[in-house]
Amino acid sequence: MAQAPSLRPLGRSGLQVSPLCFGGNVFGWTVDEATSFSLLDAWLDAGMNFIDTADVYSRWAPGHAGGESESVIGKWLRRSGRRADIVLATKVGKDMGEGRVGLRPEYIRQAVDASLQRLQTDYIDLYQSHDDDANVPLADTLGAFADLIAAGKVRAIGASNHSAPRLAEALRTSAELGLPRYESLQPLYNLYDRAVLERDLAPLCAAEQVGIINFYALAAGFLTGKYRSSEDAAKSARGGKTVATYLNPRGLRIVQALDAVAARLDSQPACVALAWQMQRPFVTSPIASATSLAQLQQLVQATRLQLSAQDVAELNQASQEEGARD
């Protein structure tokens, strides 16, 4: 059996997480319950422990109300009894309908209890603000999180989709008022989407010891090499948007570089794309999803792949954009 990957500290939270995080948006959406259970079992059996979801997953799907992903994870936890083996992250703040949105203290208190019930657990390891909420004073939001930590419902808190100025302001507020601080940031980051994180957010997170757990690690599937022409848009439910966003000369240049490095290493483009992120000094754990055991094995293989300085330089050059920092 292959050796399990080394765990990494998440900010200053005390949480130790695997170098790759399973993105739970697929559970109860593009993956049925039985497949979700087998994916979660296989993830842990491979030595991984980090799972990310959100209360809003998958409200966007027809007939869904939100909470589907958390509910599937909760059923799996009850069946498997493996709560102590995972670091469980979820989020609050996206629009759940009927006025359930944002980061007001009274709503956070309501939302965490609903998430705990769906997840069938009495604590959340990492509770994240899914979006910034400029309408609520940071001291109020962070104070509500402090109450949840004191009550034992939450172990640590994180931010998602926050700008560098707002994250810096939140960290200052925590320090000045003696409140819990955001220990992680969940931003968009991958070989295509580099500049915003590398220019603004990564230096701040490094200076403040905030962990980075980036979403869209495979650029909505584009970095797997699955989408190489406009005809490929039909390959998945989100293919049209993926092709419209990423299929351009720079995107194709990145895919060609991934092909070249993968061929040298006898690997796959997706594995190389994830390995590049895991070797970035400021990234703690990229988030990626799988809808089959074969795809999950690719994710696991990525944690064992070591890129050479030449491999990294080749990928950096192909993905160069203004504001990116090699």
Tell me which residues are annotated as active site.
57
**Contacts for 311 with CB less than 8 Å, ≥ 6 apart:** 261, 264, 265, 272, 276
Token pair for residue 1?
A: 């059996």
- Rounded Cα–Cα distance for residues 179 and 174 (Å): 5
Q: Which residue is listed with tokens 């999950």?
A: 296
Q: DSSP state, 31?
A: B
Reply yes or no: is the peptide bond before residue 58 cis, omega within 30 of 0: yes
What percent of the residues of the chain are helix, what percent strand, and what percent coil, each to the nearest 5?
45, 15, 40
**Contact status, residue 192 vs residue 222, Cβ threshold 8 Å:** yes
Q: Where are the alpha helices (DSSP H) in the chain?
A: 33-45, 68-80, 105-119, 138-150, 164-177, 195-196, 202-208, 239-246, 249-265, 269-278, 293-302, 309-318
